[in-house]
Chains A and B, each alone.
Chain A
Amino acid sequence: MAELPDDWEMVVGLEVHTELATATKLFCGCANAFGGEPNTNVCPVCLGLPGSLPVLNEKAVELAIRIGLALHCQIAPSVFARKNYFYPDQPKDYQISQYDKPINGIGHLDLPDGTRVLVERAHMEEDTGKTTHLGGTGRIHGADESIVDYNRAGVPLVEIVSGPDIRSAEQARRYAAELRSILIATGASDGRMEEGSMRVDANVSVRRGPDAPFGTRCEIKNLNSLRSVQRAIDHEALRQVLLLEDGQTIVQETRHWDEDAGRTQTLRSKEEAYDYRYFPEPDLVPLAPSDEQIDAIRARLPAMPAERRRTLVALMGEQATESQADQIASVVDQGIDRYVMAAAAAGVAAPLALARVANELAGALSDGGHLDEDTMVVLLQMEEAGEVSATQSKAVLADLVADGGGDPRAVAKTKGFEQMDAGALDAVLDAVIAENPDAWQRYVEGDDKLTGFFTGKVMAATKGQADGKAVNAGLRQRRG
């Protein structure tokens, strides 16, 4: 993590655009789908053909309200407005957005560490088409021509604007990560940054010390991974500091982050802000969801990541360890905490469930495949009862996920994982101890680190069939 020199401090605000997980576009019935042959998913409305008119998608409104509720925003009557500017990917040469009356007003997002970041607004707007630059470098500078695909034009977006509350690139990354988790949890978005369903713009400025006035800011557009968010902000803040220390001034402008080169570069100068001439959209009427409608949406809202993390922490019993806290954050972020909850509800020890889900299940799911909660619970119960060892349990799990399900006992049997009886384990233990007298002496004298040594020997001798816990217990019992 880069540190700024002296008492320089960065001031960061993030604008996050998320595509909404609706079946159709915001103002027309064209499918809201990623990919697809260019310009096959268009109609008079999203192409902005003369005479066309927009009609608002009720599902998009519901999802926008879910986002507002999840971010503790004021849900208010709202009005759509035209943002007028010329650009080839903008079919009407204006975007239908929201301006002074957004659907979601002031709210906040609490980071996992408790820091609160202000959310200024989260409003609805339509997406643009996609421009591909031809010739030259393939980037906009140096391109001879461009080609435009309007499949994405009109896709519903919510733009979430934070206050300038963020003070480090790493914090920005955590904000973006938590926001992404929240958006996925609401069902409003699939959060796939690499597919463009969530895009981050960062406004960055620097100042000397926490009481100095805000400096001139630059906007870095279209950061499409959490890593880019952090790297770009660190780079930009340092760039500004170096300029200022050199006696230069910061030009207010929009910059593009080049991930490969690891630097930002000017897109356009904003000597003065562009005049968008916002005015209320005359082809649409105001939106005023009733309290009943909002309450109904609130009632349907699933638990948010922060609440789910709290629930898991409470399940750990005593203070969760740092490693457990990491596991909890990880399973909630991946949306697999439901497995832990299901196991705990069935009486499985929460720490065991958490460990298996965070490590083995997460890994297996990321390779593709799936597993239902009930099957996972059965396997965990088997491990807890000692029917299979930890190692065996992991192997069974891998198979189950790859096959998309199955009977854990049947799989264990097929793999020859019989429970090792106590007498056989005693015999192996005694043999291993006898073969390693010096190590055993040191262990008896108190060197607990040798537990792993002996466990490894027993595992090798039993081809992994021994249960680690039983081995441990056996060693301690012999030590006295």
Chain B
Amino acid sequence: MSDPTPLSAADVAKVAVLARLNLTDEEVERFTGQLASILGHAADLAALDLSALKVTEHPLELINVLRSDEVRPSLDRAEVLSQAPAVADHRFLVPQIVGEEG
């Protein structure tokens, strides 16, 4: 397992877009330093040969947790919409969507 390449400001800027966060230049610089430091500690993991181990997605050994296909009460629409920032025609109103997805 080779070391991953170090984190750059360009990486941070790209990640901020993916995460829908606006960062000032100062923040990009500051976060780059802080994140690089945290990831630097992760380098000690990179050095381990763990190829023989499987990944643990959660610590339980549970499988096949299912529920029966029975209808249960839904929420009261008024209560749901009362918390919405903007509503039109009983639906959640949002500004223009530019392009689909992402």
Contacts and interface: CB of A to CB of B under 8 A. Distances in A.
Interface of A: 22-24, 28-31, 37-44, 47, 55-61, 77, 79, 85-88, 131-134, 140, 143-150, 254, 267-268, 274-275, 277, 280, 282, 284-289
B65 A147 contact: no
Contacts of A47: 75, 80
Contact of B96 (A22, A146, A288): A146
Interface of B: 18, 20, 55, 57-58, 60, 62-75, 77, 80-81, 88-97, 99-102
Nearest to B67: A55
Interface of A is mostly: loop
Nearest to A293: B64
A433 B64 CA distance: 79
Contact of A86 (B71, B93, B102): B102
Nearest to B81: A39
A143 to B, nearest CB: 6
A86 B20 contact: yes
A287 B63 contact: yes
17 contacts: A24-B70, A24-B72, A38-B91, A39-B90, A39-B92, A56-B65, A79-B57, A140-B97, A143-B96, A144-B96, A145-B88, A145-B96, A149-B91, A254-B100, A274-B102, A286-B64, A288-B63
A251 to B, nearest CB: 14
Contact of A37 (B60, B65, B77, B100): B77
B66 A38 contact: no
B97 A143 contact: yes
A285 B69 contact: no
A285 B58 contact: yes
Contacts of B96: 143-146
B55 to A, nearest CB: 8
A244 B76 CA distance: 55
A85 B17 CA distance: 11
Nearest to A60: B69
A56 B67 contact: yes
Contacts of A56: 65-67
Contacts of A149: 90-91
Given A85-B102, A148-B91, A55 B65 contact: yes
Given A59-B68, A280-B57, 20 more contacts: A23-B70, A29-B70, A29-B71, A29-B73, A39-B91, A42-B75, A42-B80, A43-B72, A47-B75, A57-B67, A59-B69, A86-B20, A146-B93, A147-B92, A149-B90, A149-B91, A150-B92, A268-B102, A274-B102, A285-B64
